[in-house]
Amino acid sequence: MTTPLLETRNLTITFGGVIAANDVSLKIEAGRNLAIIGPNGAGKTTFLNICTGWIKPRKGQVLFQGEDVTALPPRKIVQRGVARAFQIPQLFTEHTALENLLIAAAARDGMRNPLIDLHDTPARDEMLHLLEMVNCADVAHRLVVELSEGQRKLIDIAVALALKPRLLLMDEPTSGVASSEKDGIMEILITALAEAKVTSVFVEHDMGIVQKYADEVAVWNAGNVQLRGAPAEILEHPDVIRDVIGEVA
Ligand SMILES: Nc1ncnc2c1ncn2[C@@H]1O[C@H](COP(=O)(O)OP(=O)(O)OP(=O)(O)O)[C@@H](O)[C@H]1O
């Protein structure tokens, strides 16, 4: 049997009286994009936060490629190959798109000299290629503050890819983007991840996006996985229609 890319065992955490993770055990296989859906407050973001080391569980384990990473700080988990993208892109808005990637590459390569010329580093071509992969080569030299939200989302993904992850965890990759742009952004994103051989887990509230881009769906409820399966099967499940999609079954 092959080792899962990511495995969690009995993850549990409470905030006051709220059980945000309630004995969560699941396995994520390489090469299968998993969407996480569920009602507000179900614990979806908490799950991503635990897997990336931002929150430590009261109980349970996170294994990445078979290694127990539960106790590691977030930066060590990134070094192992787990990257994260947030609902709001985490970029240096007064720098250009390319500089944002060069800064990520410098951090990845352990370059700590603040006087170094970022544009004169071996990673420059690689970073330009990443911008091409997310269809943003034409804005490489523009300040991030001048770009659209959709472009910022894509550059944020390129920054994550600069860290050479094997797994990318994303919180609502298309939130804040006009609905007419969502599909285009997901197409670019999923294609770039496939080219970079990165598996994704993404929290998503837009069921059209889930249907089209997820290989598998996990439904969160009250801090645990309630259901898991293929998008077509999960999105037609009466419990999902009632609790997540919000229509009367
Ligand atoms: N740091 C925290 N301190 C206190 N309570 C928290 C903290 N993080 C999460 N919670 C609570 O834990 C529960 C799960 O939150 P979480 O953000 O994981 O849910 P979610 O499924 O991602 O929700 P949404 O879809 O609204 O983003 C919520 O009741 C939330 O208020």
CB burial of 196-231 (b: ≥16 within 10 Å; e: otherwise) equals bebbbbbbbbbbebbeebbebbbbbbebbbbbeeeb
- Report the nearest atom of ligand 1 relative to the CA of 38: 21
Task: Among 103, 136, 164, give the residue marking a domain's end.
Answer: 164
Give pLDDT, residue 113. 64
53 is a domain residue: yes
- Same domain for 175 and 248: yes
- Same domain for 247 and 170: yes
Domain residues for 97?
A: 91-164
Q: Give me the chain's average pLDDT, please.
A: 91
Six token digits for residue 238: 């009466």
- Give 205's contacts (C-beta < 8 A, 6+ positions apart): 37, 172, 175
- Same domain for 172 and 158: no
Q: How far apart are CA 236 and CA 239, in angstroms?
A: 9
Rounded distance from Cα 238 to ligand 1 centre (Å): 25
pLDDT digits (tens, 9 = 90+) for 168-216: 999 999 888 888 899 999 999 999 999 999 999 999 999 999 999 999 9
86 is a domain residue: no
The CATH number of residue 27's host domain is 3.40.50.300
Task: Among 149, 164, 179, give the residue marking a domain's end.
Answer: 164
- Same domain for 201 and 239: yes
- Same domain for 225 and 126: no
Task: Among 135, 164, 193, give the residue marking a domain's end.
Answer: 164
Q: Is the CB of 45 under 6 A from ligand 1?
A: yes
Six token digits for residue 230: 């293929």
Q: Is the CB of 17 under 6 A from ligand 1?
A: no
195 is a domain residue: yes
Q: How far apart are CA 107 and CA 89, in angstroms?
A: 18
Nearest-Å Rg of the Cα atoms of the chain is: 18
The structural domain count of the chain equals: 2
- Same domain for 175 and 64: yes
Give percent above pLDDT 90 in the chain: 78
- Report the nearest atom of ligand 1 relative to the CA of 42: 21
Give percent above pLDDT 70 in the chain: 94
- Same domain for 217 and 146: no
- Same domain for 192 and 71: yes
- Same domain for 63 and 7: yes
ipTM of the modeled complex:
0.95
Q: Is this structure's pTM higher than 0.90?
A: yes
Burial of 30 (0-12, 13-18, 19+ CB in 10 A): middle
Does residue 226 contact residue 26 with C-beta atoms inside 8 Å?
Answer: no
Does residue 96 contact residue 109 with C-beta atoms inside 8 Å?
Answer: no
- Same domain for 73 and 6: yes
Most distant pair of Cα atoms in the chain: their distance:
62
